[in-house]
Amino acid sequence: MTSAHVDVEGERVGEIGKGIMLLLGVEQGDDEAKAKRLCERVLNYRIFTDEQGKMNLNLTQVEGQLLVVSQFTLVADTDKGNRPSFSRAGDPQMSKTLYEYFIGLVREKGVECQTGQFGADMQVGLVNDGPVTFQLRIA
């Protein structure tokens, strides 16, 4: 991704250049151990191209930035009917706590990390390179 930003009520609250925009959905049963594992995977996932055009480099190797946006709709159950169910989503307080914990872990690793605003109505912009999009699930 070459750039991304998040606005809330017309104000830019987060913006990055080259890096990863992470839409983070928290499910019931998620915990700090899963947040730690996700942090390691996101920072070390080799999705940036090297000199030969192969996906061999991770976020830290390209000195990229991370934009983390809370996104409870990612955990929607869409298997039946015409309306998504959000019964698997973590409760708001637990989700906010894990969201903030995850961001703290990323910053402890020295990666520049911008964020959206948890629970807000956000307008998100993204210039996706490729486009390249992955879904990481931590079991």
Give domain limits for the chain.
Answer: 3-127
- Cα separation of 112 and 91, whole Å? 28
Which token pair is 123?
Answer: 């307008």
Which CATH superfamily does the domain covering 3-127 fall into?
D-tyrosyl-tRNA(Tyr) deacylase (3.50.80.10)
Helix boundaries (H) for 11-59: 32-44
Which token pair is 117?
Answer: 């605003």
The helix/strand/coil state of 39 is helix
- Cα separation of 79 and 72, whole Å? 17
Does residue 131 have a cis peptide bond before it, meaning omega lies within 30 degrees of 0?
Answer: yes
Q: CB atoms < 10 A from the CB of 51, how many?
A: 7
* Residues with a known catalytic role: 71-73
Q: Can you give the pLDDT of all 139 residues of the chain as single tens digits?
A: 899 999 999 999 999 999 999 999 999 999 999 999 999 999 999 999 999 999 999 999 999 999 999 999 999 999 999 999 999 999 999 999 999 999 999 999 999 999 999 999 999 999 998 888 999 888 7
- Cα separation of 27 and 39, whole Å? 16
Whole-model pTM above 0.95?
no
pLDDT at position 139, please? 77
